[in-house]
Amino acid sequence: MTFSFEIPLLILLLLTAAAAIFVKDLISAVLILGSYSFFLALVWAWLGAVDVAFVEAVVGAGLATIFFLLTLFGTAPEDTRIRRPPVPKAAMIGLPLLGILLLYAATDLPKFGDAGSPASVHISPFYLENSFADTHTPNVVTAILMDYRALDTLMETAVIFTAGIACWLLLRRDSA
Partner 1 sequence: MTQAPHDSVIVRNLGAHLIPLVQLFALYILFFGQYGPGGGFVGGVMLGASFIVGSLIFGADDPATAAANRLLDGDGLGLIIFVLVGGLCLIGGGEFLNYTSVRIPGLDAPSQRYLGIVLAQIGVAVDVAVTAVSIVFSLSTVNRDEANPGA
Residue ranges that bind partner 1, judged by CB under 8 A: 50-51, 53-55, 58-59, 62-63, 66-67, 70-71, 73-74, 76, 133-139, 141-143, 145-147, 150-151, 153-154, 157-158, 160-161, 163-165, 167-168, 170-175
Q: How far is the CB of 141 from partner 1 (least distance, A)?
A: 8
Q: How far is the CB of 113 from partner 1 (least distance, A)?
A: 19
> Of 117 and 137, which has the nearer Cβ to partner 1?
137
Report the amino acid identity of residue 65: T
> Of 114 and 129, which has the nearer Cβ to partner 1?
129
Q: How far is the CB of 18 from partner 1 (least distance, A)?
A: 28
Q: How far is the CB of 29 from partner 1 (least distance, A)?
A: 18
> Of 124 and 153, which has the nearer Cβ to partner 1?
153
Q: Are the C-beta atoms of 75 and 26 separated by less than 8 Å?
A: no
CA distances from 167 to 21, 57, 93, 125 (A): 27, 23, 40, 41
Q: Are the C-beta atoms of 132 and 125 separated by less than 8 Å?
A: no
> Of 13 and 51, which has the nearer Cβ to partner 1?
51
CA distances from 56 to 15, 134, 145 (A): 18, 29, 17
> Of 19 and 72, which has the nearer Cβ to partner 1?
72
Nearest in space to 27 (alpha carbons), one of 70, 84, 79, 78: 70
Beta strands in the chain (DSSP E): none
Q: Are the C-beta atoms of 49 and 113 separated by less than 8 Å?
A: no
Q: How far is the CB of 163 from partner 1 (least distance, A)?
A: 7
